């Protein structure tokens, strides 16, 4: 017998209608149906969700932490993208 | 001016992030020893949740009412969930579920010694919830701010669920203490047996805990063993008094100057004996774990076979 682990799945839960699915953790399951079932048992025992997504972990592609500076820092010096960069005269309303 | 970052070694950069309270995430660079320490601690923690189901499982069929049985079932199910959150957190460090379970089953990995004590009466379910989970919460709340992100996030979920465990335990104790004299005696007898082992849950004295200093520096731990033990005593003595029970330690006494309770010395010989495998239930607990795992092997295999068969069918249909 070859020892083989069930694949790893990432679990995303929508906590209530109108909100995004949010990553809550992971679990092992033989297939997608079992992953949804297990996610329900593990992550929604206290009404934490109204909808579940599962994605097999191997399908997730992530940015590399070593590239974080090159990737994200350019956004740091572009303050003009934020509304607070602009001065609005006190007399101007509704802006 | 040259940025100082260029001359910092990876270890120094890592420590600087820790000192700035920036969480470490799975793909970030980390010292090997940090990774190893976390795998050891998180998997040990996960094993404790798993083995912790066994002493309580003993009482599911014996719970005195349907309400108590439902509560106990829910609690045991929570422990399984906590184990899963923690195994998942450990897996992000590069170990596998199979490897962790193999280490537990071979005796290489440890779990909390508290579960090597037997649960002899219904009042033990009260003590496990009130004292053991109370001690666990004190250990776990600071871990919600531990430096490794996945561990901290797992602990946030665990802590949210754990406070129900402690309260249901206290309620069992309170019910017994307000009941017949025999029931109250049962509660006292259970407290007598669980008090000292619970104090041992915080681990050896600081002077005998060589890993503490490094773990504090890495902000894996936020308080020392002795600090947490003191907090626990300060929290529990008044609760025992409320119940009308006596903590089995003659040295327990309020110290006005320290604004804390003085208390006696834990029997460290017993502590080390249980850690080394010579507690009352070490053999039984491990045996139960190994049997459950071995006897469930066909289920794991069948589920994989079923998934493969269905995937093949869907591929043909597509």
Neighbour count for residue B12 (Cβ, 10 Å):
12
> Which residue of chain A is at minimal alpha-carbon distance from B299?
A30
- CA dist B169 → B19, B138, B187, B215 (Å): 38, 16, 11, 31
Neighbour count for residue A28 (Cβ, 10 Å):
21
Q: Interface of chain A against chain B, CB under 8 Å?
A: 1, 3-6, 8, 24-28, 30-31, 34, 41-42, 45-46, 62, 64-66
Q: Please give the structure tokens belonging to residue B132.
A: 């053991």
Is the Cβ pair A5, B153 closer than 8 Å? Answer: no
Backbone angles phi, psi at B184, to 5 degrees: -65, -40
Whole-angstrom distance, CA of residue A23 vs CA of residue A62:
14
Per-residue model confidence (pLDDT) at position B3: 54
Cα B110 to chain centroid, rounded: 11
Whole-angstrom distance, CA of residue B179 vs CA of residue B187:
10
Is the Cβ pair A45, B81 closer than 8 Å? Answer: yes
Whole-angstrom distance, CA of residue B160 vs CA of residue B141:
10
> Which residue of chain B is at minimal alpha-carbon distance from A44?
B81
| pLDDT tens, residue by residue, B43-102 | 999 999 999 999 999 899 999 999 999 999 999 999 999 999 999 999 999 999 999 999
Confidence of residue A59 (pLDDT cuts 50, 70, 90): very high
Number of alpha carbons in the 13 Å side-chain half-sphere of residue A11:
28
Whole-angstrom distance, CA of residue A36 vs CA of residue A41:
9
| pLDDT tens, residue by residue, B276-308 | 999 999 999 999 999 999 999 999 999 999 999
Report the predicted TM-score, pTM, of the whole model to 2 decimal places. 0.92
Is the Cβ pair A45, B77 closer than 8 Å? Answer: yes
Indicate the Cα dihedral angle B230, B232, B234, B236, nearest 10°: -150
Among B301, B305, B311, B315, the residue to mutate for chain A (most A Cβ within 10 A):
B301
Close Cβ partners of A3 (under 8 Å, ≥ 6 residues apart):
B98
Is the Cβ pair B25, A65 closer than 8 Å? Answer: yes
Is the Cβ pair B157, A25 closer than 8 Å? Answer: yes
Mean pLDDT of chain A: 92
Q: Which fold has domain A3-62?
A: Ubiquitin-like (UB roll) (3.10.20)
Q: Which residues from A are below 8 Å from B310, CB to CB?
A: 31
Lowest model confidence (mean pLDDT) among A66-70, A81-85, B120-124: A66-70
Give the residue carrying structure tokens 């109204």: A50
Domain range summary for chain A, segments of one domain joined by +? 3-62
What distance in Å separates residue B75's CA from the closest CA in chain A?
Answer: 11
Give the residue carrying structure tokens 């009130």: B130
pLDDT, mean of residues A25-36: 96
ipTM: 0.87
Give the residue carrying structure tokens 């082992």: B197
> Which residue of chain B is at minimal alpha-carbon distance from A5?
B98
Residue A54 is classified by DSSP as E
Cβ atoms of residues B151 and B313 within 8 Å: no
Cβ atoms of residues B255 and B261 within 8 Å: yes
Q: Which residues from A are below 8 Å from B161, CB to CB?
A: 46
> Residue B126: which of B81, B66, B64 has the closest Cα?
B64
Whole-angstrom distance, CA of residue B123 vs CA of residue B51:
20
What distance in Å separates residue B126's CA from the closest CA in chain A?
Answer: 23
């Amino acid at each position: 017998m070859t020892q083989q682990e069930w694949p790893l799945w990432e679990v995303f839960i929508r906590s209530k209608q109108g909100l995004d699915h949010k990553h809550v953790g992971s679990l092992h399951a033989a297939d997608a149906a079992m992953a949804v079932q297990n996610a329900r048992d593990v992550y929604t025992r206290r009404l934490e969700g109204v909808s579940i997504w599962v994605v097999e972990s191997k399908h997730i592609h992530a940015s590399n932490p070593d590239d974080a500076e090159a990737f994200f820092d350019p956004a740091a010096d572009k303050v003009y993208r934020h509304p607070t960069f602009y001065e609005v005269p006190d007399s101007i309303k509704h802006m | 001016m040259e940025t100082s970052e260029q001359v910092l070694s990876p270890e120094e950069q890592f420590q600087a992030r820790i000192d700035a309270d920036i969480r470490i995430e799975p793909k970030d660079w980390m010292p090997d020893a940090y990774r190893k320490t976390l795998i050891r601690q998180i998997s040990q923690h996960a094993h404790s949740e798993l083995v912790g189901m066994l002493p309580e499982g003993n009482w599911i069929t014996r719970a005195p009412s349907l309400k108590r049985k439902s509560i106990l079932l829910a609690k045991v199910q929570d422990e399984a969930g906590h184990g899963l959150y923690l195994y998942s957190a450990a897996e992000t460090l590069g170990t596998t579920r199979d490897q962790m379970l193999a280490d537990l089953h071979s005796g290489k990995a440890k779990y909390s010694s508290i579960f090597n004590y037997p649960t002899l009466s219904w009042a033990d379910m009260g003590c496990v919830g009130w004292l053991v989970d109370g001690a666990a919460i004190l250990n776990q709340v600071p871990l919600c701010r531990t430096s490794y992100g996945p561990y901290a996030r797992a602990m946030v979920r665990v802590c949210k669920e754990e406070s129900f465990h402690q309260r249901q335990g206290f309620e069992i104790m309170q019910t017994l203490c307000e009941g017949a004299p025999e029931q109250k005696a049962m509660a006292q007898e259970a407290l007598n047996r669980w008090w000292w082992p619970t104090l041992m849950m915080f681990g050896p004295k600081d002077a005998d805990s060589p890993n503490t200093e490094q773990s504090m520096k890495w902000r894996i731990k936020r308080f020392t063993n002795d600090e947490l033990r003191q907090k626990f005593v300060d929290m529990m003595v008044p609760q025992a008094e409320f119940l009308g029970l006596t903590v089995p330690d003659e040295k327990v006494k309020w110290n006005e100057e320290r604004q804390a309770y003085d208390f006696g010395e834990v029997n460290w010989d017993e502590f080390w004996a249980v850690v080394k495998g010579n507690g009352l239930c070490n053999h039984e607990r491990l045996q139960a774990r190994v049997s459950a795992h071995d006897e469930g092997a066909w289920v794991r295999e069948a589920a994989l076979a079923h998934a493969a068969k269905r995937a093949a069918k869907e591929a043909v249909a597509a």
